[in-house]
Amino acid sequence: MRFFDLLIKNGMTEDQFEETRTFLLSYTKLYAQTPADQLGWLMDSRFYGRKNYLNELDKLLKEVTLEDVNKAIQKHWQTENMFITIVTDVSEAEPLAKSLKENLESPMSYSNLVKSGLPKEVLDEDDEVAKYKLNVKSVKIVKSEDTFK
């Protein structure tokens, strides 16, 4: 939530934008590796009035600008009424629900060996994230056997 709120407030940096675009230009090519995947994407493309969305996506990613992305984030993103799903072990569900409802701090936990190798910036960021207020309005625990009914 903190990351989303910061992105909405500050937008992406040029480095974040380029890193994300580079990743997506490569990763989206993995979506249609088999003939069945390719056919599925082509069928979806036609259904949505496009010729070949994955080919179009490559071109669009190359043309989009940082300003375009930041404007879209500010226009379409918000965190006031998000629904978030967390999958956890049944033994952790109630304590997690209590923690979320009470907006308790959630400090990061590292082994001493790992913690000793982390830069101060990471540990400082962890402290900020641990204290970030989520303002959870409700929590519903659903048993796994009751899903997808």
What pLDDT score does 98 carry?
93
Does residue 148 have a pLDDT over 90?
no
Taking the CA of residue 90 as centre, how many other CA atoms within 13 Å lie in the half-sphere pointing to its CB?
4
Q: What is the pTM of this model?
A: 0.75
Mean of the pLDDT values across residues 6-29?
96
How far apart are alpha carbons 139 and 127 in whole angstroms?
24
